[in-house]
Amino acid sequence: MTTDTNTRSWDGLTIPTAGTFELDQAHKRVGFVARHLMVSKVRGEFTEATATVTIGEDPLQSSVVATIQAASISTGQADRDNHLRTGDFLEADKYPTLEFRSTGVKSHSGNEFVLTGDLTIKDVTRQVELAVEFEGAGRSPYGFDVFGFSATTEIDREDFGLTWNVALESGGVMVGKKVKIEIEGEAIRQA
């Protein structure tokens, strides 16, 4: 057992004691990868996202609520980003946020967890499973209690009404249906 009163031993891991944590804006990435022209990948991220993680007394009862600003999408190419904000894709003016609410921890093995939750994009909500890796917990040099994590999932964008595409003369389509979501971050104890 560690002598730090803000962490505890659980199932071979050192995890935070129960409490509320906020996503550290300086240490986060909410990214995605999609196929382009059937031959390459486009990577991007949402630069504005918040999340509250509530660590339960029973760690398997922990939860997360996240909000992503749709207009903050960035792929490093302004014309593409502007197109992604339109009604062809995110329709950011009408649907300014993407939302995630966890519904439970489906399973865990070591530091790997499967988190289920509801993802809402453009007022369409679907259940998704995130493969979450708990990266560790401790105290920063600035006196903050933190923990790190990464998470991935894959969605079919058409399930959320993101159906725009262009057929290619050579066969296939301009934008792939599957989108891999990649999240990495640190969370800071609030209470």
> Which amino acid is present at 84?
L
Are β-strands 63-69 and 40-46 bridged in parallel, bridged antiparallel, or unpaired? unpaired
- The alpha carbon dihedral of 69, 75, 77, 81 has a sign of negative
pLDDT of 4 > 60? The answer is: no
Tell me which DSSP letter residue 76 carries: S
Higher-confidence position of 186 and 173: 186
Tell me which DSSP letter residue 112 carries: E
CA–CA gap between residue 140 and residue 102 (Å, rounded): 27
Q: Interior CA angle at 15 toward 31 and 10, to 5°?
A: 125
**Collapsing DSSP states into helix, strand and coil, what is residue 11?**
coil
Cβ–Cβ contacts within 10 Å for residue 149, how many? 22
pLDDT of 1 > 50? The answer is: no
User: pLDDT tens, 118-144?
Assistant: 999 999 999 999 999 999 999 999 999
Within the chain, residue ranges assigned H as helices are 78-85
